[in-house]
């Protein structure tokens, strides 16, 4: 079944900013994980009462995909405490 994946990723824990190097790591991961395409939205997030640069990554998939192992790898590489992922079944069409 098709699904939408929303991934919420916070910035570097020391600076609370999204550097080009940090964003590059996310994009490399996304290119490998979602080769058919994805969307990145830069935004401001709040975690444990602290504001930080954040990324919301959207991907639409033709099938449910197990991405937890890949997310664990990204979480370690970015030295994040957590990354939030939301998977939603959906009915969509491309026009």
In a domain, 28, yes or no: yes
CB 39 within 8 A of CB 55: no
pLDDT in tens, 10-48: 998 888 999 999 999 999 999 999 999 999 999 999 988
User: Per-residue pLDDT tens for 63-95?
Assistant: 767 789 999 999 999 999 999 999 998 887 788
H or E element that contains 27: helix 20-33
Distances (CA, A) of 69 to 35, 65, 66, 84: 17, 11, 8, 13
Looking up tokens 């590059």, which residue turns up? 24
Residue 94, domain member (yes or no): no
Q: What is the pTM of this model?
A: 0.89
- What is the extent of the structural domain holding 76? 3-89
Residue 95 lies in a domain: no
What is the number of domains present in the chain? 1
- The arithmetic mean of pLDDT across residues 39-64, rounded, is 91
Check which CATH number belongs to the domain holding 48 and give it.
Answer: 3.30.70.260
């Amino acid at each position: 079944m098709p699904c939408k994946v929303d991934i919420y990723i916070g910035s570097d824990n020391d600076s609370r900013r999204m550097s080009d190097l940090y964003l590059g790591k996310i994009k490399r991961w996304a290119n490998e994980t979602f080769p058919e395409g994805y969307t990145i939205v830069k935004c401001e997030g709040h975690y444990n009462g602290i504001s930080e640069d954040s990324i919301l990554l959207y991907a639409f998939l033709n099938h449910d995909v197990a991405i937890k192992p890949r997310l664990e790898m990204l979480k370690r590489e970015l030295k994040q405490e957590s990354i939030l992922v939301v998977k939603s079944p959906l009915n969509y069409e491309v026009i």
